[in-house]
Amino acid sequence: MILNASGCLDALTAPRVARSLDAFVAKTITPEPRPGNAQPRLAESDFGLLNSIGLQNPGLDVFYAEVLPLLEELEMPLWISVGGSNAADYARICERIGERDSVDVLELNLSCPNVDPAAAGAAEIVAACRAVSGKPLYAKLSPQLPDIAEVATGVIEAGASGLSLVNSLRGLVLDEWTLEPRLARAVGGYSGAALRPVALAAVFSCYEATKGTVPIVGMGGVQSGKHALDLIAAGASAVALGSVLFGDLEAPERVRSELEEEARARGFERPSEARGAAHQPFAA
């Protein structure tokens, strides 16, 4: 299964790529509109991209009335990314958006690097959302958690159905001559090729901690079918493409066919058969 990472495609570009994705993941929404952070918000860096969008979004009401109907026209499974500053914010969005049949999954963004962290703990947010919605809930976690596997098992116990691993890393890029930060807010979310080993390690340890019992969307620097296969071997059941989409809208199609070839070349009939191949078998 190949998805886009939240925030890397908007409702207007989506129709150009939608057919090559198994589901469309929308940019994170919050209860109230947010203008986002000051410009500049994007800077290229070695091996990746730094962003400081700052959760820019039209807010729940406008999303529900104007953006969701556009996404529904894609006639494909929709994953809606949910944000907020406390558990009640997340639950409010899950309750409202969760009513729609077109919405397959609510992805709880517990890891935006560009806004102040949620005051509530991850498990508390998941439990509040579980209480108001029967939809699958995926917890999107930060690669900077001191022990991501511990948080992963906590959110699963609190009612999450799956994990999205990982969000961007905090990074900084300085102007070559002025030595000032290239982003208005200085530090931003760093994604791209350099995130690959970090994402692999997170998927690997969360798969191990959950004994392969929950679905995991792996993401971080995927640019080829081999990168996707690595994440699947580490434990991902699906792979999402992020920054690669900014430069290459053909990437999902290409990665899908490369992934099938790379899996076959290693004796797997389907990529899904390679899930967990990087692990020793679990003790019975």
Contact flags string 142-171 toward ligand RRO, x per CB under 6 A: -------------------------xx---
- Nearest distance, CB of residue 189 and ligand RRO, angstroms: 3
Query: What residue number has its CB nearest to ligand RRO?
Result: 189
Residue 35, beta-bridge partner list: none
Out of 2, 23, 29, 55, the only residue in the binding site for ligand RRO (CB under 6 A) is: 55
Closest to ligand RRO by CB, 49 vs 209, is 49
Residue ranges with strand state E in the chain? 2-4, 24-25, 42-45, 48-51, 78-82, 103-109, 137-141, 162-165, 169-171, 188-191, 216-219, 238-241
Closest to ligand RRO by CB, 199 vs 259, is 199
Quote the DSSP letter at residue 169: E
Q: How many residues bind ligand RRO (CB under 6 A)?
A: 14
- Nearest distance, CB of residue 159 and ligand RRO, angstroms: 21
- Nearest distance, CB of residue 259 and ligand RRO, angstroms: 24
What are the backbone angles phi and psi of residue 125, rounded to the nearest 5°? -65, -45
Pairing of strands 188-191, 169-171: antiparallel
82 contacts ligand RRO (rule: CB under 6 A): no
Q: Site residues for ligand RRO, window 90-119 (CB under 6 A)? A: 109, 112-114
Rounded to the nearest 5 degrees, what angle is found at the Cα of 200, between the Cα atoms of 44 and 19? 70
Out of 8, 43, 53, 108, the only residue in the binding site for ligand RRO (CB under 6 A) is: 53
Do you know the residue count of the chain? 284
243 contacts ligand RRO (rule: CB under 6 A): no
- Nearest distance, CB of residue 81 and ligand RRO, angstroms: 8
Out of 7, 171, 181, 235, the only residue in the binding site for ligand RRO (CB under 6 A) is: 7
Contact flags string 23-52 toward ligand RRO, x per CB under 6 A: -----x----------------------xx
What are the backbone angles phi and psi of residue 108, rounded to the nearest 5°? -90, 110
Closest to ligand RRO by CB, 168 vs 205, is 168
Active site residues: 112
What 3-state DSSP class applies to 133? coil
Closest to ligand RRO by CB, 53 vs 214, is 53
- What is the separation, in whole angstroms, between the first and last Cα of the chain? 28
Q: Name the CA dihedral angle for 30, 32, 37, 43, rounded to a multiple of 10 degrees.
A: 30
Closest to ligand RRO by CB, 78 vs 259, is 78
Handedness of CA 25, 232, 1, 101 (dihedral sign): negative
Cα gap 60→93, rounded to integer Å:
7
What 3-state DSSP class applies to 106? strand
- Residues engaged in binding ligand RRO (CB under 6 A): 7, 28, 51-55, 109, 112-114, 167-168, 189
